[in-house]
Amino acid sequence: MAHYFEEPSRTFSEYLFVPGFSSKECRHENVDLSAPVVKFKKGENSSIVMNIPLVSAIMQAVSDDKMAISLAKEGGISFIYASQAVESQAAMIKRVKSYKAGFVTSDSNIRPDQTLADILELKSRSGHSTTAVTEDGTAEGRIVGLITSRSYRVSRMPMDTKVSEFMTPFDDLIFAEEGVTLSEANDMLWEHKLNALPIIDKNRRLTSFVFRKDYDSHKENPCELLDGDKRYVVGAGVNTRDYTERIPALIDAGADVLCIDSSEGYTEWQRDTIDFVRGKYGDSVKIGAGNVVEEEGFRYLAEAGADFVKIGIGGGSICITREQKGIGRGQATAVIEVAKARAKYFEETGIYVPLCSDGGIVYDYHMALALAMGADFLMLGRYFSRFDESPTRKLNINGNYVKEYWGEGSNRARNWQRYDMGGETGLSFEEGVDSYVPYAGSLKDNVSLSLSKVKSTMCNCGVLDIPSLHSDAKLTLVSATSIVEGGAHDVILKEQTSSVR
């Protein structure tokens, strides 16, 4: 007969924290929200550690290059959506990796015999206002000049004006020689009041740029998440169909970590995808897998070699998998059970596999609950879709500003690969909806507020980091009546505001 779980599966809203002892050290500024992203051995550290435990969902309506840059500035990671052409996804990765760095390789170059029209076309295509003028128009050519937005006036110059006529010639450039340190280069930027400093080798070839905006950005965003070359960290989704083509392209583009995007991860298709990565790249390429909701699924993916495991089926606000197929589990129960499986696996193998809770977050305090229950970090879709930085349109509906938000299983997304069971291509029925979410403003302001609440909860629990939250948090189930008691009740509110985050 079928196997029955004795306990009902529960959601985050059915739990509350019970306070622990708070010492004088339990203050917001002392809370460490860093989180490991990929597996590591006992006594070692994860090779990728986020500064905040938030990642954005692998969704068309959430994670593009703009979102990736904004979230990396705050210390998290975006997983750029996979339901697009390989070339398009790789281009997004490249834009993120080239946006911020200490030493930036020039990918906007032009010859001196080209024209103002060519400059404007290049600027439109790349978004860069600083262009190196080299003899052959390549990044490796001998530099002969430099063009910035102050080098020309479109309204007063013919489009066929030669670059050589309005560029700043090499003899007038302030530059640094190859071997200069980033600190020294930044000092030169400030000393000479420059926006960009070319770095030149002994053969007068341009090796890179150092930009003032990168220095300013770092000071404004102390938690920003950078790789070893001081570029923003970015993730990418992959599917179990075209991974042999997609994964090499994403790695070449600079993706730091991959994640298999699937509604259900306890499948042979996921093992095949992980086997491809291990066979081609060994452990140098990091890839997460999922989604699962119980021990067997976690164990299968951990033994297959997944670098992290994602938890959750049917808990997303736009997901109707449970309605359509009757598949899933309450998110709180799923996280608790998989975390127990992870602890058992760690005890047996000495390998810690980070867990990502995906779905079920409605209120900010749910973030703290998911972390306390064993998640190392959280994947959020609806939460990030509400912000200026998401790729969807902001609309005014009946006097209220909203943003579009649709599921990857909706007919709008047509991401059949996410729900692939090895058969014909295409969606035979929807597992996601097309919707709106209330517009919430900027990512930075909202993330700061949400994490302030998480820190406050942790201080009330008497813990200062996520591992301590895992081990020391005290949780209690609540009744339906106590849920009502927890909100405003038996009063007439002067002003009704939403507490949904």
Q: Which residues are catalytic?
A: 319, 418
* Residue 36 three-state SS: strand
Residues 6+ apart with CB under 8 A from 202: 177, 178
Rg for the chain, CA atoms, rounded? 25
Residue type, 93: I
Classify strands 400-406 and 434-438 as parallel, antiparallel or unpaired: antiparallel
- Whole-Å CA distances, 386 to 185, 391, 454, 459: 39, 10, 19, 28
Residue 401 has φ and ψ, to the nearest 5°, of -80, 135
Please choose, from the candidates 92, 90, 29, the residue with its C-alpha nearest in 3D space to the C-alpha of residue 391.
92
Task: Tell me the three state secondary structure of residue 411.
Answer: coil
What DSSP character marks residue 428? S
Q: Extract the tokens encoding 299.
A: 């164990």
Question: What are the φ and ψ backbone dihedral angles of 469, each rounded to 5 degrees?
Answer: -65, -40
Q: Which two tokens mark 171?
A: 């003899």
Question: Rounded to an integer, what distance in angstroms lies between the CA atom of residue 392 and that of residue 294?
Answer: 34
